[in-house]
Structure 1
C-alpha cells in the first residue's frame, strides 16, 4: 500500500491534480481536491509508524489503555 510521500502516492496525486485542472478547477482547488481524494481512499491512507522508534520518545507517547 502506498504511503504519503512515496513515489506511487505522488504519481497518483499528480494525476488527480492534472485531471482536476483539465476540468477547469484552479491550481489551489485542484491540489486540495487531489489530497482529499487520496485521504479518503483506504489504499492510500497512512498506516502510522511501523516501529517503536517511529512512535517518538517513550516519555512523550500517550499511555496505552490495554
Structure 2
C-alpha cells in the first residue's frame, strides 16, 4: 500500500497533476486536487505508526 511520501504515491500524484494541468488548471490547484484525490483513496491513505516507538512515549499513550 503506497503512503504519502512513497515513490508510488509521488508518481501517481505527478500523473494526476499533469492531467489536471493539461486541462487548464493552475499549478497550485492541480497539486491540491491531486493530494485531495489521493488522500480520499483508501489505497493511498496512511496506516499510522508501524512500531511501538512510532506510537510515542509509553506513559503518554492512549490505549484503546
Query: Offset of 1:60 from its aligned partner?
Result: 3.0
Matched residue SS, 2:3? coil
Q: TM-score, normalised by structure 2?
A: 0.91
CA RMSD of aligned residues (A): 1.0
Q: TM-score, normalised by structure 1?
A: 0.89
Matched residue SS, 1:20? helix
Give 5+ residue unaligned stretches, structure 2: none
1:27 aligns with 2:27: yes
Matched residue SS, 1:10? helix
Partner of 2:40: 40
Matched residue SS, 1:39? helix
Residues 9-50 of structure 1: CA deviation (Å, up to 9, x unaligned): 000000001111111100110000000000011100001011
Query: Offset of 1:59 from its aligned partner?
Result: 2.8
Partner of 1:53: 53
Partner of 2:7: 7
Matched residue SS, 1:35? helix
